Each structure stands twice: as C-alpha cells, then as structure tokens.
Amino acid sequence: MRREVRIAGFGGQGVVTLGTILAIAAGVHENLEVAQSQSYGPEARGGACRSDVVISDEPIDYTKPLALDVFVALSPAAAEKYWPEVRAGKTRVMVDQTLVPKTPDHSPPVLKIEATRIAEDELKDRVAANMIMLGAMAAVTGWVSLEALQETLSGRMSAKALATGRAALRRGFELGKALQEQKGGQI
C-alpha cells in the first residue's frame, strides 16, 4: 500500500531531518520501499521548507506525492500554502499548535500537538519539536515503529542530541497514543 507524507515549515525547524529519519526508518528498519524529496528556499533559516516521503510495500513508480495521506504543518505559511492538497476524509492533518494555532474552518479533523512548547518546556530544545511530531505521527499511523525511529537516530547525532532526540520521539509517541485513544483507534 502506498502512503504519502508532506512535512512543511520553515528552515531551521528540522523539516528535512524529520522526513529523512522517517524515510530511513521505513526503508532500512521496516524493509519498505521509500522515496524522499525536499524543497527549500535560498535562506539557511526562516525560508519555506518541505519534505515529502512516499512509503510503499511495493516498488515506487512515481516518487512525488499524488494524494497526501498525512500532512504535517509546522508553520502558518506552510499550512496555508499546502492546505489545498488536503483531501477531506482522506488526509490526516497534524499541526504544531504552538506555531499553527488556527486552521481553516472547513478542514478535516486536525491533530493538534503543542510540540514546540513541549520541546522548550520539557526538553529545553526548541528544535526537538520535529521529533515530537515524528513520534506522534508514528503512533497515529502505525507505519513505522518507535524502535525503528530511535535506531535510525543512532549514528546520526551527537550523544547529547541523540538523548534529546530519543526523548522527543518517546514524548511524541505518547502524545500520539493518547490522541489515538481519544479518537478510538488509529486516526
């Protein structure tokens, strides 16, 4: 089954890292086919940034998203820009509510996670919000395991960043499970 994810925000939030970790976890640790692409502006930080991941249990014949299954918005500009690609009743929408407090009235149900606030308050690292969102996405979709994500972080981060990244993934996974229980199953 083909699954498509778009993560969008601005440079410096770890958007590309989130997409890359998801793709490696799915491909290397879950033995799925993956394609990951990214797009970002010329600015090192603060410019528009996007990461697309296609995951499948069959060979991928087209590497770009055709119909998003999950959309993760980490900034208001990203939410506004990509909202037209959200399919009512089909696309799971997740937002960092700290940064994206409002979504369109006509939107499908939105999973709101205060990832940036939690990253700052609990982990003392604002950038860890990306791993919180990834952990939550893993919990609500069931596409990759928490263990696969944590294993993927190994060897890609310093010891301090690894500890924070793993803690953020766990916290996000817990939040995702709690949202799942509120909604009565996988969302």
Domain segments of the chain: what residues? Answer: 3-183
Which element (helix H / strand E) includes 19? helix 15-24
Whether residue 184 has pLDDT greater than 80: no
Kindly report the backbone phi and psi dihedral angles of residue 59, in degrees, each rounded to the nearest multiple of 5, phi listed first: -55, 140
DSSP secondary structure string, 95-157?
A: EETTT-----TTPPPEEEE-HHHHHHHHHS-GGGHHHHHHHHHHHHH-SS-HHHHHHHHTTSS
Angle (deg, nearest 10), helices 129-141 and 146-153: 150
Whether residue 182 has pLDDT greater than 50: yes
- Give the pLDDT mean for 68-73: 96
Q: Which residues contact 35 (CB under 8 A, 6 or more apart)?
A: 23, 53, 54, 60, 63
- Give the pLDDT mean for 11-28: 94
Does CATH number 3.40.920.10 belong to domain 3-183?
A: yes
Whether residue 174 has pLDDT greater than 80: yes
Q: What is the dihedral of CA 76, 78, 84, 90, to 10 degrees?
A: -100
- Give the pLDDT mean for 20-25: 97
Average pLDDT in the chain: 91
- The pLDDT score that the predictor gives to residue 186 is 45
pLDDT tens for residues 142-167?
A: 999 999 999 999 978 888 899 999 99
- The pLDDT score that the predictor gives to residue 44 is 59
Whether residue 98 has pLDDT greater than 50: yes
- The pLDDT score that the predictor gives to residue 187 is 43
- Within 10 A of 182 (CB to CB), how many other CB atoms are there? 9
The Cα 39–Cα 21 span in angstroms is 16
The Cα 138–Cα 43 span in angstroms is 30
